[in-house]
Structure 1
């Protein structure tokens, strides 16, 4: 998803952003997908498919995102790298990207690979997208948005649903609003994969990465590292509710050419840690204590808690809470040998519980109306 055109002004209240998932799909395959959210001791023992890929790439003053087959993405990306220096000398660099993408469409068929690009030019930002295969929406708190790929309609719908949360963050700095918005999208999708949609019928997810144009340095950069936690608002006796955290956590390091996702899972079947590399066209999964090695000195820059709120009709409502900069000290994360320690301060967890109870109350009022 990407904003359309923004002014070239470091003090602009608009920030160009591209969000991309990491799941690579294969049409006509009914096997369940193994992802960071669905990996447990039980699922890793099955012959399930594991395929993540980096689909968004910051390339100086240009950024390009892909949708489609992992192999096609890797090949197209290499082609783009070879042509990009020449394109950047042109008045409309992304027009050349669009023409290049059409070659792949003609070769492999519609939808085999789609590209979305944005490049800073003297009078703003030049963008490209496959006109026949995109979803457009003007969302007041986000501006003009465009989405491509199999999850494009879902993503636009969720951006609309996120309007209320963005309004509540209206006084926060622009970057914090952007980061919180993407964190909410990601936290909800991870929870859906984890608890409700293990066969991923909408064919997108895995993990959401985002890049944004940083006017301070004049180039596109990845968003910050993050730790994702999960909890449920549990109904106790006598109507008392308590917040219970799951023994599941997912970490993210953006890196440069190579991103990483960490899965930590404790279920009745046992405990497991797994490190996923997220690169162009492919991923590698390492399970066991060795998976912790790249993360031993890691300090998350942000965290998000996704709370599952059971409703009276049996459905689940998701509430996402991303930290403000001053709240980061509420998070504890450390690796000692094969042991991983993580959690939130009692004060922060108590505030989350109260907020989740407010969700229940607000929903009841809405239903009564």
Structure 2
């Protein structure tokens, strides 16, 4: 399909490419700097003086950079901000910062000194290998490209890049540590079935860029993250890898078409993003694999995952208690149905892959390509 993505900076900055430019996924297309973090130093407390006496004890001025430097004898002077004379010249005291920075303010009311840390550089990559079709001045760009595009149902971790490597032979085979090799460093690995927790830890040790599988156990995910996952958006986790599951939680095989599609692109460079949000606006994890030539998939490729809900539509359930179940719509009754909660809603009938007939609120499904 033809994929379009908006690549924007968090604050105003500089756009580094022009409209019409050809870009690679890892190319930096826009850059800026964020203000450094604020460090609060309670100088009055460190010196044991009143807040009003802090300004006259300062050995640094507002706007001055506070860094470690070598003294006359080669020793490090430290990050000293202020000194007190002590009592009758005895036992002088010093107040120091923990980190380098620039003094923004000195308060004679609170006795505190505020230091601003070094600016934080921010770079935005193209994410898709394609053409810049629009430049957003001071903000970013819009990139368009013909790609193989796959959406998952859940993920953690942010954007990652690497070469697609299929490590299982079938859509049902799980990802276990024995399938991982040192040569997988920097790769995006595709497994058909469940991603085991110990395989994730091994992949992190090897420096694997991302893992894609049919499912994952919620307890394994909790152990990997070190906490329970809330209902907010994911994607900012710092676990050293990006994880994407295409079907749901548990021992679930990847859909045959999805596995075949990813296996067909084995060896191709790709970009992935594990960011997921189900509530208050749906955001799905995604896998973007550019085509090597200026070609595009068949027109029906863009219809998967969208279109009009109808009898025969392939759907995936996105709410408990059947989260992640794939099936086909068999009926679309017009009259509202009374749910277990006692409320009424329009529903549909879904025949799941294992033959069950389920009655699901229409808002609890999404159309998928299978």
State whether TM-score is above 0.5: no
- Name the structure, 1 or 2, with higher relative contact order (CA <8 Å, separation 6+): 1
In our comparison, the structure showing a higher alpha carbon Rg is 2
